[in-house]
Amino acid sequence: MSKIHDVIYPAIFTQEEGGVWSVEFPDIKNAVTQGDSVEDAYRMAVELLSAMVFDDIKARKELPKPSEVAKISHADNEFVTLVSSRVAAVSASESYVRVNCTLPEWMKTEAAAANIDFSKTLQEGLREKLGIDR
């Protein structure tokens, strides 16, 4: 079953020379991005956070504990805010495997003639049997 994680981490937004905004997640190593505006930088931060957390979940790494926003120091040209993302944990572990299946020859012939995708049909049948609605 799919399990959605709401992931929220503080980020430091810094206004750089030329109006560009850089974003750093102090709790996540090497998590830095930027945007041409605050809005653009925020979108990039959400994308970066999603990708990095997805990679950690996929690698079965424990996610770092988020710092408290009030305890993060920042300069005058910076502000600290929370960035939120939703990550589906199931997609990290949803690798596909080959399964051998036996069925009557006539059924294979009929299904092939009807252009039925065997993998898709087996997945749909298993989802129905298991009560999985995704």
The domain limits of the chain are 4-93, 96-134
**Confidence band for 74, pLDDT divided at 50, 70 and 90:** very high
Q: Three-state SS for 10?
A: strand
Which of 45-54, 63-72, 80-89 reaches the highest mean pLDDT? 63-72
| Non-local CB neighbours of 124 within 8 Å, separated by 6+ positions | none
Beta bridge partners of 9: 83
Q: Three-state SS for 92?
A: helix
User: Can you give the pLDDT at residue 4?
Assistant: 63
Q: Three-state SS for 72?
A: coil
On whether the 4-93 domain is CATH 3.30.160.250, my answer is yes
d(CA 9, CA 42): 12
Residue 22, by phi and psi: left (phi above 0), alpha (psi -120 to 50) or beta?
A: beta
Instruction: Indicate if the pLDDT at residue 128 is higher than 50.
Output: yes
